[in-house]
Amino acid sequence: MRVLGLETSCDETGVAVYDTDSGLLAHALHSQVAMHARYGGVVPELASRDHVRRVVPLLKQVLADARSVPADIDAVAYTGGPGLVGALLVGATLARGLAAGWGVPALGVHHMEGHLLAPMLEDVAPGFPFVALLVSGGHTQLVRVDSIGAYRLLGESVDDAAGEAFDKVAKMLGLPYPGGPQVAALAADGDPQRFTFPRPMVNRPGLDFSFSGLKTHTLVTLRECAGDEELSQRDKADIARAFEEAVVDTLVIKCRRALEQEGLSTLVMAGGVSANRRLRARLADSLSAREAQVFYPAPAFCTDNGAMIAYAGACRLAAGEVDGPDARVRPRWPMDELTAIAAPAGAAAP
């Protein structure tokens, strides 16, 4: 089965073609970061309009790169939610139109399931069951994964997600959008010994996260350092390092606790924050001592992308799922509403 995947949930337009026999054939991505940077965050209306402009040229490019024509496509998968409703509608409308014109099925895919399954695109993929840490945009979740669609939420952020906290701290430090990579780059020059920030909720039972208090602690530290003067670059770097260390330690502690609780030895980390180098290194060190493994998507597939949607769609389409006549996009869509399925025969899954 050859599946066209479309991702338009927020500020990246992604298109890909995935074949269950041959794997990923082609993918392309357009990021709207430069457009939104001047506003300090994503402007939903601008995001939707840019998806309209970009998605068809990307579609043509990907079909050419995959050496495919419409007659080769067996189904169209698109991000059905969660996400910005206007942005979701761009991908959904195009996907359903193409599917109707080509005489093939269409299917709306859960955005976070796409992230969760993105490591399956790698040559060495994790085997079920495993614990997944999903750190994407407004989501920070720990999920037990027994098979595709068989998910049990173990813990999640009760306020700011990790990615949101990075973005807000970046604004405090006067850094441009998007904040995560900017804070990480600044932190690389910081002194890890100067400040010690709290590791929120690690001294209480459970696997939930909270980063709002850490954000407030960062703001207080900034004001104390600045006083009546402008904050120095050294102060900014040291504060960024302390903040990043606190977030990384918190995520690592909770991941280790989740694996111990579930009696598992495999962790999957996916989403934009999973590209953070310090987090990857700390997890590798922490889990190797416990004879556990951690799997990540390739860097190109950490952020939103069409490949993960094409793969997740291929899995569900092969299991017989298709859009009904009343299909709609879902800006909010709990993962526990998804049904469990088996991976398609021949797909790059364990």
Is 136 labelled as part of a ligand binding site? yes
Kindly state whether residues 200 and 139 are assigned to the same domain: yes
What domain range is 289 assigned to?
Answer: 125-296
Tokens, residue 216: 């407030």
- Cα separation, 138 vs 136, in Å, equals 6
Kindly state whether residues 291 and 187 are assigned to the same domain: yes
Predicted local confidence at residue 347, as pLDDT = 45
Kindly state whether residues 162 and 177 are assigned to the same domain: yes
Q: Residue 198's closest CA among 156, 245, 142?
A: 245
Kindly state whether residues 270 and 324 are assigned to the same domain: no
Determine what percent of the chain falls in helix, strand and coil, rounding each to the nearest 5. Answer: 45, 20, 35
Is 111 labelled as part of a ligand binding site? yes
Kindly state whether residues 167 and 54 are assigned to the same domain: no
- Cα separation, 58 vs 16, in Å, equals 9
Please check whether residue 317 is in contact with residue 75, taking contact to mean a CB–CB distance below 8 angstroms: yes
Kindly state whether residues 239 and 255 are assigned to the same domain: yes
Q: Can you give the pLDDT of all 350 residues of the chain as single tens digits?
A: 999 999 999 999 999 999 999 999 999 999 999 999 999 899 999 999 999 999 999 999 999 999 999 999 999 999 999 999 999 999 999 999 999 999 999 999 999 999 999 999 999 999 999 999 999 778 899 999 999 999 999 999 999 999 999 999 999 999 998 889 999 999 999 999 999 999 999 999 999 999 999 999 999 999 999 877 888 999 999 999 999 999 999 999 999 999 999 999 999 999 988 889 999 999 999 998 788 999 999 999 999 999 999 999 999 999 999 999 889 999 999 998 999 997 554 444 43
- Asked if residue 278 belongs to a domain, the reply is yes
Domain at 36, CATH number: 3.30.420.40
Predicted local confidence at residue 185, as pLDDT = 96
Is 27 labelled as part of a ligand binding site? no
- Asked if residue 308 belongs to a domain, the reply is yes
Peptide bond into 325 cis (omega under 30): no
- Asked if residue 346 belongs to a domain, the reply is no
- Asked if residue 344 belongs to a domain, the reply is no
Write down which residue in 247, 274, 296 finishes a domain.
296
Kindly state whether residues 216 and 142 are assigned to the same domain: yes
Tokens, residue 272: 């934009």
Cβ atoms < 10 Å from Cβ of 204: 7
Count of residues making up the chain: 350
- Cα separation, 21 vs 243, in Å, equals 44
> Residue 125: what residue type?
A
Predicted local confidence at residue 343, as pLDDT = 59
pTM: 0.93
Predicted local confidence at residue 137, as pLDDT = 72
Is 36 labelled as part of a ligand binding site? no
Please check whether residue 348 is in contact with residue 125, taking contact to mean a CB–CB distance below 8 angstroms: yes
- Cα separation, 203 vs 330, in Å, equals 36
Kindly state whether residues 141 and 176 are assigned to the same domain: yes
> Which residues touch 272 (CB under 8 Å, ≥6 apart)?
135, 136, 137, 163, 180, 302, 303, 304
Kindly state whether residues 60 and 205 are assigned to the same domain: no
Predicted local confidence at residue 285, as pLDDT = 92
Predicted local confidence at residue 346, as pLDDT = 43
Assign 319 to helix, strand or coil: coil
- Asked if residue 244 belongs to a domain, the reply is yes
- Cα separation, 218 vs 224, in Å, equals 10
- Asked if residue 347 belongs to a domain, the reply is no
Is 305 labelled as part of a ligand binding site? no
Kindly state whether residues 164 and 254 are assigned to the same domain: yes
- Asked if residue 345 belongs to a domain, the reply is no
Q: Residue 213's closest CA among 155, 163, 276, 165?
A: 165
CA atoms in the 13 A half-sphere facing the CB of 79: 36
Is 115 labelled as part of a ligand binding site? yes
Kindly state whether residues 13 and 130 are assigned to the same domain: no
- Asked if residue 314 belongs to a domain, the reply is yes
Please count the structural domains in the chain.
2
Kindly state whether residues 157 and 283 are assigned to the same domain: yes
Cα three-residue angle 281-177-167, rounded to 5 degrees: 60
Q: Is 285 exposed, middle or buried (0-12, 13-18, 19+ CB in 10 A)?
A: exposed
* Chain-centre distance for alpha carbon 128: 20
Is 137 labelled as part of a ligand binding site? yes
Please check whether residue 51 is in contact with residue 94, taking contact to mean a CB–CB distance below 8 angstroms: no
